[in-house]
Amino acid sequence: MVPAYNYKKYFPADFADLRRNKFIAHQCIKISVICEICVKYCFKDLLEWCQIYNFKYMKEQIAEWQKFLKDKTAEEVISFAIEKLGESLAFATSLAIEDQVVTEMITKITPFPFIFTLDTGRLFQETYDTIENTSKRYGIKINIMFPDNQEIEEMVNNHGINLFYDSVEKRKLCCKIRKINQLQRALSGKKGWITGQRQEQSITRYGLNKVEWDETNLLIKFNPIADWTEQQVWHYIKTNNIPYNHLQEQGYRSIGCLPCTRPVAESEDFRAGRWWWEKPENKECGLHKGYKGIKV
């Protein structure tokens, strides 16, 4: 559901008028607002109508943006995103080389970006070192989102410490509790987010656009380096002397949690080292595709 806001901030209308006045609802949608009055008083007819219209409106808007941004540079895509969404925009970084490129670009455009990362509790030490080095290099705060300790305890005690090796369903459960839930908290109240995803990374990302409607989080998602190659990423890293995780020079072309990541050969798929015991079509944690799995 679209986040609820105080409608009086935008429209000095009585809530009874709001219920029957779809013109006002149209204006709400245009600024990504569904007012708290609709939610509080259970105006389900208007609320559901707003949501349906919101999806339709945003998809039409994003289709136009896709055409406009198709041939734009990564820097231009980021500038466009910041211009349109401002403080309602977030950047999710995993500290991978792609995200380091985007961090460099963002900090050149805005001095106060909202950047966050997800600490699953099972990361490599080198990832933590990269967080520290990046924060110092750019003078920025990287907000670190942690999983809920009670959920972790319940999951581990019910399914085992290494449950992710048992089945795809259990692995996705682990990803949900350690990553997806934190992502949703970080994106709460935001209208859009930026990622470092690239089309080349896996078969699940071949159709990636520079801007998309995120069906899972109901947000606009910008992928400024969607069409970059791995060679382009490394060239930008080296040319600009950007701090990076040195495991990525040791065969770890894609890095996640330590138990679920292994180095790969040059001839292997970019993400072959992630959840290597699974089929390629399953290799998404749910951050970008949503979660469908078992309960704790």
Cα separation, 131 vs 31, in Å, equals: 34
Residues 106, 81 contacting (CB under 8 angstroms): no
* Residue where the block lists tokens 């896709």: 66
Residues 124, 255 contacting (CB under 8 angstroms): yes
Which residue in the list 35, 50, 174, 285 is annotated as catalytic?
285
Strand order in the sheet with 89-92: 142-145, 115-118, 89-92, 192-194, 219-222, 211-214
Determine how many CB atoms are found less than 10 A away from the CB of residue 264.
Answer: 18
285 is catalytic: yes
> At CB < 8 A and 24+ separation, what contacts does 183-186 make?
183/92, 183/118, 183/145, 183/217, 183/287, 184/217, 185/145, 186/90, 186/92, 186/116, 186/118, 186/143, 186/145
Q: Which residues make Cβ contacts (< 8 Å) with residue 126, sequence separation at least 6?
A: 245, 246, 247
Instruction: Give the catalytic positions in this structure.
Output: 285
